Amino acid sequence: MSDDRLIIFDTTLRDGEQSPGASMTKDEKVRIAKALERMKVDIIEAGFPIASPGDFESVQAVAGAIKDSTVCGLARALAKDISRAGEALKHANSSRIHTFIATSPIHMKMKLRMEPDAVLEQAVEAVKMARKFTDNVEFSPEDAGRSETDFLCRVIEAVIDAGASTINIPDTVGYNVPSQFGSLIHTLRERVPNSDKAIFSVHCHNDLGMAVANSLAAVQNGARQVECTINGLGERAGNAALEEIVMAVRTRQDLFECDTGLDTTQIIPCSRLVSGITGFPVQPNKAIVGANAFAHESGIHQDGVLKSRETYEIMRAQDVGWSENKIVLGKHSGRNALRSRLNDLGIELNSEEELNDAFARFKELADKKHEIFDEDLQALVAETSWSSENERFKLVSLRVCSETGEIPEATVVVSVDGKERNSIATGSGPVDAAYKAIEQVVKSETELQLYSVNNITSGTDSQGEVTVRLSKSGRIVNGQGADTDIVVASANAYINALNKISDGEYSREHPQLGDV
């Protein structure tokens, strides 16, 4: 890799999933991984295989599905973790094992209860073992941001000698500030005698809101890999946001001596996909991917932009994948027009059957909504993959009465294992009534943790996209639904989540990185 290339290592599926509630199923992880691959992300950290059978299977599935990006699995510096990661990545086209152990005084003393020399030895053993599975080994001294520089230098030199080709410096607790973190990277590269044999990477958390700034300071000091997540998802306050790093480097080429190989037009579709699947909405004023990121409200700004875009815009909205909100298809469009527009959006359907299904849904939508936008198509295809033939629960019909001064009432017919069941319930609103009616049939005993509705496009005929988060005995799932009728979208999202929880496909607590 040449020195002017900045490697993008996406950890949405691993650190991103450590956000409380951001659980994803195996299929959802594969969908996100494919979107990351389409965006030309260099490395996808697919999970932490030792954490649970679900994590193992997800890493395995991503490794099998991805051809162009390198797929990475996380492992503590322990033999059992490393062999589990090696096993999960066995069939990857290109694989990496990322092994880590903490090096800060507080972590070594209080968490690991180990002396520094023993930590160093374990780090070296871990890298040597990982090299038996792949030539591509990354090592992270966890909590490097609070580690002693002399000790860090010793550990880094030793693990490079043992065969690590990437050294990742994590600011695990988001404690650093840009000038300090930049100079740490500079010092490490200067002082570690074999530093030229490895690529330096950074992994910054956002506890003080400086994850992106710290990462960029590191890049200016020679880091050539950045670990980041879509929408800045991640443990606690999150990780550095991929879209912000990538666009900062691309926009300020006068300041950075490197650039990424990313197709930035895939940023918005990816951001939407991750937000829909995890149920973590993107705040409207979020840089790059927020709904207002390119909106000019003030008259002076609007006038300036109309005269010359550069007066108030430093990036082009379409370069990050915002569409011009043009009507793309209508009621009379045919299957080929749909297929071709989906291709333009970088969406591949896997079979004629999937195209037929998407087309049927498209016709249904076109009957309700005259103007179909790119965003509608994206939601429609996502919906095709939310539901599958062998689900236990299906919404057959829903009728809701809502009138001023009257208590809302819902009547539902839900198919359970192929048998139709009816139910009527009242609630404080139409969605509450519908959920109660469904619950009377399903008796899931789940707890509703999140209910959110977002409009997919503008206008009162826009589809509403609903995300529902349910928990049961420590398991968390997210369900999605989209429809021009938000009560129907809500019922579909609830049924989608119930299917996931009953499937048991995804059952685990979040991995505990500290449990060594």
For 91-118, the DSSP string reads T-SSEEEEEEEE-SHHIIIIII---HHH
Q: Which residue, 148 or 420, is less far from ligand KIV as judged by CB?
A: 148
Residue 200 in contact with ligand KIV, rule: CB under 6 A = no
Residue 357 in contact with ligand KIV, rule: CB under 6 A = no
Residue 201 in contact with ligand KIV, rule: CB under 6 A = no
Contact between 74 and 98 under an 8 Å Cβ cutoff? The reply is yes
Task: Report d(CA 10, CA 16) in Å as an integer.
Answer: 9
Tell me the β-bridge partners of 101.
Answer: 141
Q: Which residue, 7 or 358, is less far from ligand KIV as judged by CB?
A: 7
Measured from the CB of residue 304, what is the shortest distance to ligand KIV in angstroms?
Answer: 42
Measured from the CB of residue 494, what is the shortest distance to ligand KIV in angstroms?
Answer: 33
Q: Which residue, 51 or 414, is less far from ligand KIV as judged by CB?
A: 51
Q: Which does 140 bind (CB under 5 to 8 A by kind): Zn ion, ligand KIV, none?
A: ligand KIV
Measured from the CB of residue 145, what is the shortest distance to ligand KIV in angstroms?
Answer: 9
Residue 37 in contact with Zn ion, rule: CB under 5 A = no
Measured from the CB of residue 288, what is the shortest distance to Zn ion in angstroms?
Answer: 21
Question: Where in 7-36 is the site for Zn ion (CB under 5 A)?
Answer: 15
* Tokens of residue 129, six digits: 């073992």
Q: Which does 513 bind (CB under 5 to 8 A by kind): ligand KIV, Zn ion, none?
A: ligand KIV
- Give the dihedral of Cα atoms 72, 73, 75, 79; nearest 10 deg: -100
Q: Residue 481 burial by CB count (10 A; 0-12/13-18/19+): exposed, middle or buried? A: buried
Q: Which does 138 bind (CB under 5 to 8 A by kind): ligand KIV, Zn ion, none?
A: none
CA-to-CA separations, 63 to 9, 55, 348, 496, in angstroms, rounded:
15, 12, 19, 26
Q: Alpha helix (H) ranges present in 192-334? A: 211-220, 242-251, 267-278, 299-307
CA-to-CA separations, 368 to 129, 363, 372, 394, 481, in angstroms, rounded:
59, 9, 10, 22, 16
Q: Which residue, 170 or 408, is less far from ligand KIV as judged by CB?
A: 170
Q: Which residue, 163 or 238, is less far from ligand KIV as judged by CB?
A: 238
Task: Report d(CA 196, CA 435) in Å as an integer.
Answer: 59
Q: Supply φ then ψ for residue 205, to 5 degrees.
A: -100, 160
Q: For 295, what's the count of Cα atoms within 13 Å in the CB-facing half-sphere?
A: 9
Question: How many binding residues for ligand KIV (CB under 6 A)?
Answer: 9
Contact between 142 and 101 under an 8 Å Cβ cutoff? The reply is yes
Q: Which residue, 104 or 446, is less far from ligand KIV as judged by CB?
A: 104
* Tokens of residue 425, six digits: 């319930």
Measured from the CB of residue 305, what is the shortest distance to ligand KIV in angstroms?
Answer: 39
Q: Alpha helix (H) ranges present in 369-470? A: 374-386, 430-442
Contact between 202 and 168 under an 8 Å Cβ cutoff? The reply is yes
User: Of 142, 157, 383, 465, which one interacts with ligand KIV (CB under 6 A)?
Assistant: 142
Q: Which does 506 bind (CB under 5 to 8 A by kind): ligand KIV, Zn ion, none?
A: none
Residues 98-127, mask of contacts with ligand KIV (x by CB under 6 A)? --x---------------------------
User: Of 16, 86, 170, 464, which one interacts with ligand KIV (CB under 6 A)?
Assistant: 170
Q: Which residue, 15 or 409, is less far from Zn ion as judged by CB?
A: 15
Q: Which residue, 15 or 375, is less far from Zn ion as judged by CB?
A: 15
Contact between 228 and 241 under an 8 Å Cβ cutoff? The reply is yes
Q: Which residue, 253 or 512, is less far from ligand KIV as judged by CB?
A: 512
Q: Which residue, 163 or 170, is less far from ligand KIV as judged by CB?
A: 170
**The 447-455 sheet, strands edge to edge:** 447-455, 464-472, 475-483
Measured from the CB of residue 100, what is the shortest distance to ligand KIV in angstroms?
Answer: 5
Residue 140 in contact with ligand KIV, rule: CB under 6 A = yes
Residue 172 in contact with ligand KIV, rule: CB under 6 A = yes
Q: Which residue, 279 or 511, is less far from Zn ion as judged by CB?
A: 511
The helix/strand/coil state of 461 is coil
Residues 95-124, mask of contacts with Zn ion (x by CB under 5 A)? ------------------------------
**CB contact set of 498 (below 8 Å; sequence gap of 6+):** 392, 393, 438, 442, 444, 446, 470, 479
Task: Report d(CA 272, CA 281) in Å as an integer.
Answer: 9
H or E element: which one contains 479? strand 475-483
Measured from the CB of residue 211, what is the shortest distance to ligand KIV in angstroms?
Answer: 10
User: Of 7, 8, 12, 15, which one interacts with ligand KIV (CB under 6 A)?
Assistant: 15
Residue 244 in contact with Zn ion, rule: CB under 5 A = no
Residue 203 in contact with ligand KIV, rule: CB under 6 A = yes
H or E element: which one contains 480? strand 475-483
Measured from the CB of residue 166, what is the shortest distance to ligand KIV in angstroms?
Answer: 11
- In the complex, the residues that contact Zn ion under the rule CB under 5 A are 15
- In the complex, the residues that contact ligand KIV under the rule CB under 6 A are 15, 100, 140, 142, 170, 172, 203, 205, 513
